[in-house]
Structure 1
Amino acid sequence: MSVSLALAAAGTVVAVALAPHAAAAGVPAPSPVGISGRGAAVPFKEQEAEYAATNGTLIGPDRLYGRLPSEASGRQAVTLDATGEYVEFTLTAPADAMSFRYSLPDNAAGTGRDASLDLTVDGNRLKSVPVTSKYGWYYGGYPFNNNPGDTDPHHFYDETRTMFGSTLPAGSKVRLQVSSTGGSPSFTIDLADFEQVGAPIGKPSGALDVVGDFGADPTGATDSTAKIQAAVDTGRAQGRTVYIPRGTFQVRDHIVVDQVTLAGAGPWYSVLTGRDPVDRSKAVGVYGKYAGQGGSRNVTLKDFAIMGDIRERVDDDQVNAIGGALSDSTVDNVWMQHTKCGAWMDGPMDNFTVKNSRILDQTADGVNFHMGVTNSTVTNTFVRNTGDDGLAMWAENVPNVKNKFTFDTVVLPILANNIVTYGGKDITLSDNVMADTVTNGGGLHVANRYPGVNSGQGTAVSGTITAARNTLIRAGNNDYNWQFGVGAVWFSGLNEPLNATVDVTDSEILDSSYAAIMNIEGATNGLRFDHVRIDGAGTYALQIQAPGSASFNDVTATNIAQSNPIHNCVGSGFRITRGTGNSGWYADPPACTGTWPDPKWTNGGVPGGGTPPTDPPTDPPTDPPTDPTVNLAKNRPVTESSHTDVYPAANAVDGNANSYWESANNAFPQSVTVDLGTAEAVRRVVLKLPPAAAWATRTQTLSIQGSTDGTAFSTLKASAGHTFDPAGGNTATVTLSGTPTRYLRVLITGNTGWPAGQLSEIEAYTG
């Protein structure tokens, strides 16, 4: 299968993962999980329901707000609505636990319904797993309510988790099956994540135990708030770690931490949960002291879960998993779910890090660095199904400076953006994966928006904003408020013009739901795009709605739905500087129409503006052809049998014919293998040596081999001598039959000019 979205941007080394698919199942669509070198390195293997074995009904693909598949990962899912219907996943690696994402219909009162699904392993029923809709289904406008009488239902999905009790080997078949429709008329399954949790983490030496030393209740039957607070206070006074052993602990108010380590047995084992039964503004959370109280510092929170019970959004209620001011502090391997925000941090505060964590099913933001947060980071963190921005910085009245969001995966923000900085100086938003924006936002956003963001207070966007090596998949949306689309990457100068250096480099913008790049609401200057690949946009490559300036170098665009790739009604008010290596995104004159087009998704979606098929497709759609003039091997991952000195195989795919790979001497055979990312019908391989006159003519004896899995290789071209003559450009061309090939290997067994394999470029083309 050839999917052009899986191709890497020039200058990047990534591979977009494609889920395996069965016949008559979901439309193949790139997954945000498992992209090499980008996003969070998650501990689970993810499988989408639409590619699993099922006797249920495929829904989607669809991206229209308010429809059930529009909030599913990949915009597709499977609905089970009869006893005996199931989705069955086959494990690709050993696992002892799973979490799965699902939706139940709301009840008439808007209070949610409770039901269960049977979990079977290899045909044997293991247990019943409870599911609920009480954390989903919001209605009306911001900040939303639970009244089904209002319009615009959304936030349909939730996640639950369960352990198997033993480790299941790869190949095990894990089935979610309907045993009764009495609790719910239907069950929609989006995906499942399988992982190897292992044993609980033991108590650190010298640590205080909240159960053994302070009497906290691990059964969750009684309120443990005061006892855990006492343990934390003692830990600070004595300089000792405070340990939360295995158990579920009722916590009905903030645990306030300062100069202490609070550590659990692991987020699958140590769980803080709860909410005050009378005062609903009080709920489980671990907080630093607020800045007005002096703030907290030197805090470590690690290896536990905070599972809230928040079912509505009230912005004045501080019912977040983590909050306050925490300087010189770290949150490590904390699972945050069913709270208002995962972490809402109110500065001034400095040097705070969230890492290796999961943030799921929030009613508002995943993380918000709110005013006066400096030198702080969220990294290697997985965020999904937030009610507002996934990861945000908001410099309200106090500057945010030198913060970073790096190596994070942010999927399905139900409102607003995947990743955003509202104001901020010298901010880094890099090495992330952003996917499936739903409404009122884009994938990556840089803006002078929201109260308190202005240059008079030093809070506006300033310095250098670095957005490097990001991958955006199905980002942006056809906004139902604006009645036109929001770009996957977008900029706004609503409060005042955005005047800063904004570098968007080495990135991919794939299958955008509306435009790929957009600016709006006031001038935006200083944009610099370099080595960016746009593959698939529902409407335009560029949507220009405000003055400003931008430079473009090595920016390529393919599969743009509109024949004119630019929409611009401000004319010369937006100045474009074109460097080298650009293609597919520029037009003069651009389009300027009185109406906005409906989006047509060129990959991973249904053409025609978002109307899903009435019946599941019987076969996957035909993928768009790969451009035969594009070198599929350029800057792709590459391996080698050996190299000598400073001549690695990376030199053979860097686009520079003067740099070269050379193998170990006197040790034939030698090989170089390029991962093209997906199986492509390669019909022509061009091999090069440096064109310098110092290179004498030589003949290398070589064959071309191919593989779809990187393990089993077949011969695409038998071994033969190929002559490289400087007078003819030192180039040899090998024609092939077009056998689908992902891993392309050049195997060299001889060289008349030097006792080693030598190549300066390997180029692969489909035509």
Structure 2
Amino acid sequence: MMLIALVFSLVTALPSLMRPAAAEAVAESPFDVPGRGATVPFTEIEAEDAATNGELIGPDRVYTRLPSEASGRRAVRLSAAGQYVEFTLTKPANAMSVRYSVPDNAAGTGLTAPVDLRINGTKLKDLSFTSRYGWYYGGYPFGNNPGAGSPHHFYDETRTMFGSTLAAGTKVRVQVASTSISPWFVVDLADFELVPDPIARPSGSLSVEDYGADRTGAADSTAAVQAAVDAGRTQGRVVWIPQGTFKVTNHIIVDNVTLRGAGPWYSVLGGNRVGVYGKYVADGGPSRNVQLRDFAIMGEVTERNDGDQVNAIGGAMSDSVVSNVWMQHNKVGAWMDGPMNNFTITGSRILDQTADGVNFHRGVTNSTVTNTFVRNMGDDGLAMWAETDNNVGNRFTFNTVVVPVLANNIAIYGGRDITVSDNVLTDTVTNGGGLHVGNRYPGVNGPTAVSGTFTLARNTLIRAGNSDYNWNFGVGAIWFNGLNQPISGAAINVTDTDVLDSSYAAIHTIEGSVTGVNFNNVNIDGTGTFALQLQAPGSASFTNVRAQRIGYSGPIYSCLGNGFTINQGSGNSGWYTSTPYCGPWPAPVYGGGGGDPTPTPPGCQVGTGNVAARKPISASGHTQSYVAANANDGDSSSYWESPNNAFPQTLTVDLCGTVNARRVVLKLPPSAAWATRTQTIAVLGSANGTDFSTLAGAAGRTFDPATGNTATITLPGTGARYLRLNFTGNTGWPAGQASEFEVYAS
């Protein structure tokens, strides 16, 4: 039993406008939270909410599955010519960004395929969908070799202007013309925008074209842009980037200068290794009085190399502002290496990075990221890392951070007097939570450890936290880690915060010890597992902390005995127990909780037709990247393969409910390279996933390329939720193999 210190105090309730009502707890969109998050210039429409003749995929929160990285964990799959997603404009727009995924190629270098963009049924142009900038494999720091398995970072986005303003009510369709290059296209969402006219060239400015820059992007403009920037510094004049795409292949070094464009839809610095950097302290920096405004920095980064400086913005800049800058396809949006002071990023977009969105790295003080939209980071969305030199007085405010593929939406590693407020954080995928404070990573200890006052206020976390593939258990939506040294002596105040539909626990402590955390007016509505997951000793105070729809029947996980002290104030409800759970990690349960012993995964419904399609599937083993999920992904060219010379092997699918299965259809890739083979396979069924009985005995099942490499097994129609294939032989390869495991009730 944990030691409980009851602390009663008078608490003045905030007005109802300051606290979302229970109905708001089911909000799925990051844009449905009044007064919090970035103010964005676009209107977002999710593909699953649009008209389509494609297939809805998800919801799903399992790392390495396509829906897990979709906004809202749902998207639409198009796998035949003529399939489409059609958006109806709710406001006038002249531009759109589409978030999508297409498969990788066998070499891991990506493929590029066109789709039609149609306006009210008439084709306007081709859009180019590519996997060049996505699909990473293996463990950290990841690579481009599909053989390493564990694929992730599936999505990218492309933007286009329509050439005219379309009225509200216009139908904008993304339609597959051909599957000859890509067998499928997944559409996640579209952002529609009324882009203003280009900004006029400031009077008295210097244009980069005056120094030989090429707006067509054909010639390398690095030297020309640098020459213009140097002249602007010495003459005290604004440096102008006109409309066009200027190829830049190295860092542009800025100091005491304003670099401005016609707007991020019009003025683009793009190319391999493009970046705008302040001077490092070791090189005479920090740079000062830098203004970067109204342009885009579009990189060409296709891998993660932590030792390579291929960030959109970097170096050190004091008394400087980045405003309305679009950063995409770099390693990091802005990796700032101090010491530096008074730096601000505002009104910007950071998309599709291979690592962090922003990292204030060592010695960054009194600096801010505000009103900025961040999506699809390969690591933390927004981070501060006080490595060796302390970060002090920094702020992340009014930002929207969506789908960090790895790690956290916002992470603070050490530092003093830090504020994280009024942000919206959604859809964490793996190895992190929505909001994290920790004494971890190199150099975060002693004078750089968490200290002073941390203000974590008015943040909304939606579907935050997820499973850690190293720890093999869940990470909380809000979590604290004292790995390098205990978190102690600081005041960490979590106030006026909403944790909605968290994937695992709402609040989590782990490693070392954690004290000094105060929760006040926190609303927890929906968790996959626990309200509190306590894996580090310490203490915290809780006042007006309310919880409902907890996933597990026991709301607190702790094996610490009396090692963690809960100080209760008034107004708490729905989360406290004097007998916390300590046992095996339960599977998360979404949408109501209660600890179902055989929980149904999110979005798992029986359906019709092939009832095994994209259902939860597992195997006794696999080789290389030929994982179980390949066997029911609808793509007959991908396949599961068991380890060699290790029969028997099994492949088991959860049909998400009882099915009176009448037949199983098994497929191998139809390529002629797959010679005829006979696999010895039995089919077993189970109601609970543990106790199986034989539905079809072991027999040779022949797969012949001349007849489609397909084998059908007839079943008696006995009801079962789980079907298992048991492989005991294969005349063509010393392993079990299946490209599609289909199940039909007729």
- Bin of the TM-score, shorter chain as denominator length: 0.7 to 0.9
Q: Which of these residues, 600, 604, 607, is aligned with residue 589 of structure 2?
A: 600
- Residue 12 of structure 1: how far off its partner (Å): 2.2
The one-letter code matched in structure 2 to 1:571 is G
CA distance in 1, matches of 2:469, 2:390: 32
Question: Cα offset for 1:399?
Answer: 0.4
Does the C-alpha gap of structure 1 residues 11 and 170 become closer, same or farther in structure 2, counting only changes over 3 Å? closer
1:223 to 215, 220, 226: 220
Distance 1:110 1:35 in 2: 39
Aligned to 2:260: 263
Q: How do 1:345-744 residues align onto structure 2 when only pairs under 5 Å count?
A: 345-455=336-446, 458-499=447-488, 500-593=490-583, 595-602=584-591, 608-610=600-602, 612-613=604-605, 615=607
**SS of alignment partner, residue 442 of structure 1:** coil
1:101-112 map, 5 Å: 101-112=99-110
Aligned to 1:94: 92
568 and 178 in structure 1: CA distance in 2 versus 1, 3 angstrom threshold: same
* Alignment match, 1:622: none
Contact 1:407 1:430 in 2 (8 A): yes
Q: Is the 8 A contact 1:59 1:616 kept in 2?
A: no
- Tell me the residue number matched to 2:316: 325
Deviation of 1:506 (Å) = 0.3
Change over 3 Å in CA distance of 1:17–1:263 after alignment to 2:
farther
Q: Deviations over 1:57-116 (max 9, x none)?
A: 000010011101000001000000000000000001010000010000111111100101
Could you tell me which residue of structure 2 aligns to residue 726 of structure 1?
none
Alignment equivalent of 1:244, drawn from 202, 219, 241: 241
2:18 to 12, 20, 24: 12
* Aligned residues of 1:96 and 1:197 also touching (Cα < 8 A): yes
The 2-side partners of 1:16 and 1:354 are apart by: 34
User: Residue 31 of structure 1 aligns to a residue in which SS?
Assistant: coil
The answer (yes or no) to whether the contact 1:96–1:198 under 8 Å persists in 2 is no
Which amino acid in 2 is paired with 1:516? A
Task: Quote the offset at 1:131 in angstroms.
Answer: 1.1
Kindly provide the CA deviation profile for residues 515-561 of structure 1, in whole angstroms up to 9, marking residues without a partner as x. 00000001100010000000000000000001111011110000001
Q: CA contact under 8 A between 2:60 and 2:601: conserved in structure 1?
A: no
CA gap of 1:11–1:402, structure 2 versus 1, over 3 A, is: farther
Evaluate the alpha carbon distance shift between residue 38 and residue 17 of structure 1 in structure 2; reply closer, same or farther with a 3 A threshold. Answer: farther
| Contact 1:59–1:79 (8 Å) recurs in 2 | yes
**1:9–1:531: 8 Å Cα contact kept in structure 2?**
no
Q: Quote how far apart the aligned CAs of 1:568 are.
A: 1.0
Q: Deviations over 1:150-199 (max 9, x none)?
A: 11000000000000000001111100000111121110000000000021
Shift of 1:301: 0.1
C-alpha contact (below 8 Å) 2:99/2:190 kept by paired residues: yes
Give the match's secondary structure for 2:225. helix
1:314 equivalenced with 2:320 (yes/no): no
Deviation >6 Å, runs of 4+: 8-11, 15-19
Letter in 1 for 2:250: D
**Residue 128 and residue 226 in structure 1: after superposition, are their counterparts in 2 closer, same or farther (change >3 A)?**
same
Contact 1:17–1:30 under 8 Å retained in 2: no
* Structure-2 change in CA distance of 1:111 and 1:488 (3 Å): same
User: Is the Cα contact below 8 Å between 2:198 and 2:263 reproduced in 1?
Assistant: yes
Tell me what 1:188 maps to. 186
Mapped to 2, the partners of 1:91 and 1:415 lie a distance apart of: 33
Shift of residue 480, structure 1, vs aligned partner = 2.0
The answer for the alignment partner of 1:302 in structure 2 is 293
> Given that residues 336 and 342 in structure 1 are in contact (C-alpha distance below 8 angstroms), is that contact kept between their aligned partners in structure 2?
yes
Partner in structure 2 of residue 746 of structure 1: none
Counterpart of 1:342 in structure 2 is 333
Other structure's SS at 1:302 match: strand
> Are the counterparts in 2 of residues 208 and 231 from structure 1 also a CA contact under 8 Å?
yes
Contact 1:10 1:532 survives alignment (8 Å): no
CA RMSD of aligned residues (A): 1.9
Give structure 1 stretches of 5+ with no counterpart: 1-7, 20-27, 276-282, 618-767
Distance across 2 between alignment mates of 1:95 and 1:14 = 31
Tell me the CA shift for residue 214 of structure 1.
1.2
Aligned residues of 1:34 and 1:41 also touching (Cα < 8 A): no
- The separation in 2 between residues aligned to 1:265 and 1:86, in whole angstroms, is 34
Answer yes or no: is the 8 Å Cα contact 2:526–2:591 preserved in 1.
Answer: yes
Q: 1:391 to 1:599 in 2, by over 3 A?
A: same
Shift of 1:562: 1.0
TM-score, with normalisation over the residues of structure 2? 0.77
1:590 Cα offset (Å)? 1.1
Contact 2:550/2:592 (8 A) holds in 1 = no
Q: Is the 8 A contact 1:16 1:32 kept in 2?
A: no
Residue 157 of structure 2, aligned match among 156, 159, 166: 159
What letter is aligned with 1:265? A
Q: CA deviation at 1:123?
A: 1.1
| Equivalent position amino acid for 2:474 in 1 | G
Query: What is the letter of the counterpart of residue 351 of structure 1?
Result: N
Q: Distance in 2 between matches of 1:244 and 1:49?
A: 35
Cα gap change, 1:15/1:308 in structure 2, threshold over 3 Å: closer, same or farther?
Answer: farther
In the aligned structure 1, how far is the partner of 2:607 from the partner of 2:100? 21
Question: The residue matched to 1:498 in structure 2 has which SS?
Answer: coil
Pairs aligned (count): 591
Aligned to 1:128: 126
Q: Which residue of 2 aligns with 1:78?
A: 76
What is the identity, as a one-letter code, of the residue corresponding to 1:321?
Answer: A
* Equivalent position amino acid for 2:264 in 1: P
In structure 2, how many angstroms separate the alpha carbons of the residues matched to 1:131 and 1:151? 23
In the TM superposition, residue 612 of structure 1 has moved relative to its aligned partner by 3.3
Q: Deviations over 1:400-429 (max 9, x none)?
A: 000000000001001000001000100000
Separation (CA, whole Å) in 2 of partners of 1:506 and 1:145: 40
- Matched residue, 2:143: 145
Identity of aligned residues (%): 68
Looking at structure 1, the residues matched to 193 and 500 of structure 2 have their Cα atoms a distance apart, in angstroms, of 28
2:413–2:441 CA contact under 8 A, matched in 1? yes
Letter in 1 for 2:177: S
The question of whether the paired residues in 1 share the 8 Å contact of 2:69 and 2:154 is answered with yes
Deviation at 1:11, TM superposition (A): 7.1
**Structure 1 counterpart SS, 2:72:** helix
Q: Name the CA distance, whole Å, in 1 between partners of 2:552 and 2:248.
A: 54
Q: What whole-Å deviation, never above 9, does each CA across 1:199-248 have from its counterpart, x for those lacking one? A: 1111011110111x212100000000000000000000000000000000
Equivalent-residue separation in structure 2 for 1:105 and 1:136 (angstroms):
9
Contact 1:11/1:531 (CA < 8 Å) preserved in 2? no
Quote the Cα distance in structure 1 between the aligned partners of 2:606 and 2:377.
30
- Structure 2 CA distance, aligned partners of 1:432 and 1:87? 30
Q: Which amino acid aligns with 1:612?
A: C
TM-fit CA distance, 1:609: 3.9
| Counterpart in the other structure of 1:683 | none
Find the aligned partners of 2:556 and 2:21 in 1 and give their Cα distance: 28
What is the rounded CA distance, in whole Å, between the counterparts of 1:117 and 1:16 in structure 2?
41
Amino acid at match of 1:383: V
